[in-house]
């Protein structure tokens, strides 16, 4: 199987279009048409991980963090990024990064944190806005099902945990073929009355090209009457962070002990105790101080993330317990999640999970 085939299957499960605009996801180095001998899944594609890939005969590294984040002006091995990339290229190893595409996935990074905590009734903390579009197309009644099937196959009609969602209205359409046309029905110069259905479907904006192409390919008309609208609706199934509820609330200190045990932590930095029970918890893997206000607005009693700065802790204002458990620590389940996803999709070659340490932060206790 070629690298492009592997990537295509990965992106059907975790679309890169979910990633944040600032991110650098996708194939960072390597040739698309090279055969895959094995896949190594890791958190950071550092030089020691590339060495591990060489030892395990894996020529594709699927990592969470992109080893190349900003532009490289030279490759001389002067820093840890260049050393890793040079070694990968010299050994014909491709590196593919998923990062915020998996952060924004409903079953991604933050779902893994919530699962570890045992939270229920999960919802996205910062759902994507201006992400949804609606297509309305007019089609001869006898072609309605064919058009729907084409739209659904292209990824339209997905609403939350439902798919193949659409709405149709039957009506009468008119058109008059002019010279130069090649009409599906009717005669030149004569107005045609057609029994038509108006079909409407919703889709994520990044799918527009494939949805429109599928619709036009299946449609019998030479000129397809359709409209596309940008919706103000929020996409509640894609976005950063997540929150959910414990079945039974717990005291704040018991909660911190529970988190420390579940995440195998040396230390937790936290804001002042509020004196409230912990029932609803918000999470955002990685650097998540940007989600503090959202967590408060969602009535969270506690918020778990990493990289919280000094002044960010003041934002708690006795409304919520802010917990900095560490950047890597909050994302520590990602490698296992990606390993499980890839293991389900590929059975013809080896999928390995990296055992190398890549967390740059150490603790002296």
22 shares its domain with 81? yes
**Percentage of residues in the chain having pLDDT higher than 70:** 100
**Which candidate, 234, 214, 101, 211, places its Cα nearest to that of 159?**
234
- Tell me, yes or no, whether 206 lies in a domain: yes
Residue range 221-278, pLDDT digits in tens: 999 999 999 999 999 999 999 999 999 999 999 999 999 999 999 999 999 999 999 9
Token code pair at residue 341: 């996803």
Confirm whether 307 is domain-assigned: yes
14 with 79, same domain: the answer is yes
Domain for residue 278, yes or no? yes
| Shared-domain flag, residues 109 and 140 | no
Would you place residue 350 in the very low, low, confident or very high pLDDT band (cuts 50, 70, 90)? confident
- Its domain, for residue 53, covers 3-100+333-353
Residue 365 counted as domain residue: no
Examine the fold and report which residue of 231, 264, 289 is the final residue of a domain before the chain moves on: 231
Residue range 115-143, pLDDT digits in tens: 999 999 999 999 999 899 999 999 999 99
**Confidence grade of residue 186 (pLDDT, cut at 50, 70, 90):** confident
Predicted local distance difference test score (pLDDT) of residue 315: 97
Whether residues 116 and 246 share a domain: the answer is yes
Q: So what's the pLDDT on residue 123? A: 98
Residue 112 shares a structural domain with residue 89:
no
Considering 231, 265, 291, which residue would you say is the last residue of a domain? Answer: 231
267: which 2 tokens?
Answer: 């230390």
> Looking at the whole model, is its pTM more than 0.85?
yes
Single out the residue of 356, 349, 338, 359 nearest to residue 51, CA to CA.
356
Annotated binding-site members for a divalent metal cation: 65, 103, 327, 331
Residue 360 placed within a domain: no
- The whole-number pLDDT of residue 348 equals 79
- How many Cα atoms are found within 13 Å in the side-chain-facing hemisphere of 312? 21
pLDDT in tens, 57-76: 999 999 999 999 988 999 99
Total of domains in the chain: 3
Q: What is the CATH number of the domain that holds 25?
A: 3.40.1390.30
- CATH number of the domain at 165, please: 3.30.70.120
169 with 116, same domain: the answer is: no
Domain boundary among 231, 248, 265: 231
Identify the CA nearest to 239 among candidates 112, 125, 98. Answer: 125
Whether 96 and 15 share a structural domain: yes
Same domain, 93 and 172: no
Which of 260, 258, 238 is CA-nearest to residue 111? 238
On whether residue 156 sits in a domain, the answer given is: yes
Close Cβ partners of 87 (under 8 Å, ≥ 6 residues apart): 47, 50, 51, 93
- pLDDT above 90 for 297: yes
Paired tokens of 45: 């594609």
In the numeric block, the tokens 């899944």 are attached to 41
Residue 109 has pLDDT above 90, yes or no: yes
Do 65 and 200 have their domain in common? no
- Say if residue 203 is in the same domain as residue 278: no
Give Cβ neighbours of residue 17 (< 8 Å, ≥ 6 apart).
Answer: 101, 204, 206, 207
Average pLDDT, the chain: 96
* Residue numbering of the annotated binding site: 65, 103, 327, 331
- 174 in a domain, yes or no? yes
Do 122 and 137 fall into the same domain? Answer: no
pLDDT exceeds 90 at position 361: yes
Burial 75-95 (b: 16+ CB within 10 A, else e): eeeeeebbbbbbbbeeeebbb
210 domain-assigned: yes
Q: Are 119 and 262 part of one and the same domain?
A: yes
């Amino acid at each position: 199987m070629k690298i492009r085939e592997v990537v295509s299957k990965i992106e059907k499960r975790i679309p890169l279009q979910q990633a944040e605009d600032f991110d650098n996801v996708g194939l960072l180095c390597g040739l698309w048409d090279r055969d895959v001998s094995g896949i190594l899944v890791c958190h950071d594609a550092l030089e020691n991980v590339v060495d591990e890939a060489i030892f395990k005969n894996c020529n594709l590294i699927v990592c969470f963090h992109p080893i190349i984040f900003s532009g490289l002006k030279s490759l001389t091995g002067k820093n840890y990024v260049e050393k890793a990339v040079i070694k990968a290229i010299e050994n014909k190893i491709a590196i593919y990064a998923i990062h915020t595409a998996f952060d924004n996935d409903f079953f991604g990074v933050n779902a893994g944190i919530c699962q570890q905590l045992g939270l229920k009734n999960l919802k996205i903390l910062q759902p994507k806005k201006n992400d949804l579009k609606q297509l309305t197309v007019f089609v001869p009644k006898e072609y309605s099902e064919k058009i729907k099937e084409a739209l659904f196959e292209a990824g339209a009609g997905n609403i939350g945990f439902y798919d193949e969602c659409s709405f149709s209205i039957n009506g009468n359409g008119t058109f008059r073929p002019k010279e130069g046309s090649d009409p599906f029905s009717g005669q030149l110069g004569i107005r045609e009355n057609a029994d038509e259905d108006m079909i409407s479907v919703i889709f994520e904006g990044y799918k527009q090209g494939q949805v429109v192409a599928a619709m036009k390919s299946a449609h019998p008309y030479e000129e397809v009457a359709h409209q596309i609208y940008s919706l103000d609706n929020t996409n509640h199934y894609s976005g950063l962070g997540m929150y959910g509820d414990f079945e039974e609330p717990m005291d704040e200190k018991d909660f911190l002990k529970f988190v420390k045990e579940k995440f195998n932590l040396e230390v937790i930095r936290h804001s002042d105790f509020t004196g409230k029970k912990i029932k609803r918890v918000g999470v955002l893997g990685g650097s998540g101080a940007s989600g503090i206000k959202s967590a408060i607005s969602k009535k969270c009693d506690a918020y778990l993330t990493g990289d919280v700065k000094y002044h960010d802790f003041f934002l708690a204002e006795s409304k919520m317990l802010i917990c900095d458990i560490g950047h890597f620590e909050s994302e520590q389940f990602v490698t296992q999640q990606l390993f499980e996803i890839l293991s389900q999709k590929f059975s013809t070659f080896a999928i390995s999970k990296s055992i190398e340490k890549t967390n740059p932060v150490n603790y002296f206790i």
